[in-house]
């Protein structure tokens, strides 16, 4: 075999080994070091809307999967009972106001009478008469203060009744989309019990579940690129921050309140996944984001870090 042929084969083999090494090194960096993950999820704040008063539903103004805006009426609870309650407290308020006015007039009269007795000399009136006038003045003042407090309480009751009547119309608290909604007129709703869910479309964001070995390459403020599994244009965003902690599956709470740690050791240790929140800077008009969608998240560091 000619020496030139051997040298040529050696060079080709060496080049192939070097190329394979470079490709392997780049693949290692891409899969093990580069800050990207296919494990990303579109998320949003979910508002569990509950009525503030109880009663049967008489009107439903929206339907499932409808886009609603803040302040828009969603459904109405039967207001008949609350109208009667408001009329009742208004009558009590009028009565309390009349009682207060009467007590005020009595107090003013008693104070004037006590002042006249106090101005008279000891020869013109007795001490007992002056004491009686003073006592009546104090009693009239106490009666007026009680009537004034009763009037203030009646005003508060009126305010509560007006608020309850106003709350019979349940309105959207955020801009969003109703989901899994099936309310019908005649349904009874209870105060404080959630009856519908609104996906807050103003709060859409992405959680990228990055391996812990990649977190050193990510910093808050870094630019991010989000690619949805459904396809379409990439969405630009930036890193807002990291989760402060994740659950430890190797440790559970024991009945004795002592640490109960799993004694087994797995030889293959998988890197823990840490949620990294990505704020979406601008969502393209033709992209329909749904909370729960899967996506790929790539971080674009502003500069290389050691």
Homologous superfamily (CATH) for 204-300: Efflux pump adaptor protein, beta barrel domain (2.40.30.170)
Confidence of residue 305 (pLDDT cuts 50, 70, 90): very low
Rg for the chain, CA atoms, rounded: 38
Q: Which tens digits make up the pLDDT trace of 142-168?
A: 777 777 777 888 888 888 999 999 999
Give the pLDDT score at 252.
Answer: 80
> Nearest to residue 179, comparing CAs of 195, 159, 197, 193?
197
Model confidence at 219: pLDDT above 70: yes
How far is it, in rounded angstroms, from Cα 17 to Cα 13?
Answer: 6
Is 268:179 a contact under the CB 8 Å cutoff?
no
Give the pLDDT score at 56.
Answer: 96
Helix axes 80-119, 127-166, angle to 10 degrees: 160
Give the pLDDT score at 33.
Answer: 58
Confidence of residue 306 (pLDDT cuts 50, 70, 90): very low
Query: For 238, phi and psi rounded to 5 degrees?
Result: -150, 160
The DSSP secondary structure of 4-15, one letter per residue, reads HHHHHHHHHHHH
Whole-structure pTM value: 0.73
User: Which CATH architecture describes the domain 45-77+168-203?
Assistant: Beta Barrel (2.40)
Report the 10 Å Cβ neighbour count for 239.
Answer: 22
């Amino acid at each position: 075999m000619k020496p030139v042929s051997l040298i040529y084969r050696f060079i080709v083999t060496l080049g192939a080994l070097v190329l394979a090494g470079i490709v392997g090194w780049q693949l290692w960096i891409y899969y093990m070091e580069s800050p990207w993950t296919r494990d990303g999820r579109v998320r949003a704040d979910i508002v569990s809307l509950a009525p503030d008063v109880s009663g049967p539903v008489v009107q439903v103004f929206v339907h499932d999967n409808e886009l609603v805006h803040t302040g828009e009426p969603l459904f109405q609870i039967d207001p008949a009972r609350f109208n009667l309650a408001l009329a009742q407290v208004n009558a009590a308020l009028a009565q309390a106001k009349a009682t207060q006015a009467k007590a005020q007039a009595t107090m003013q009269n008693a104070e004037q009478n006590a002042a006249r007795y106090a101005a008279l000399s000891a020869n013109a009136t007795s001490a007992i008469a002056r004491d009686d006038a003073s006592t009546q003045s104090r009693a009239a003042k106490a009666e007026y203060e009680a009537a004034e407090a009763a009037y203030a309480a009646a005003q508060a009751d009126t305010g509560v009744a007006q608020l309850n009547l106003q709350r019979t119309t349940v309105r959207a608290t955020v801009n969003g989309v109703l989901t899994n909604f099936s309310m019908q007129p005649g349904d009874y709703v209870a105060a404080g019990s959630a009856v519908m869910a609104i996906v807050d479309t103003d709060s859409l964001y992405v959680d990228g579940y990055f391996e812990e070995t990649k977190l050193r390459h990510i910093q808050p403020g870094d630019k991010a690129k989000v690619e949805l599994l459904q396809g379409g244009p990439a969405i630009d965003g930036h890193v807002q921050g990291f989760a402060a902690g994740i659950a430890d599956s190797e440790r559970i709470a024991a009945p004795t309140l002592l640490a109960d740690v799993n004694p087994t050791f797995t030889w293959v240790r998988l890197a823990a996944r840490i949620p990294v929140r990505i704020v979406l800077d601008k969502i393209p008009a033709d992209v329909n984001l749904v909370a729960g969608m899967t996506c790929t998240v790539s971080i674009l560091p502003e500069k290389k870090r050691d």
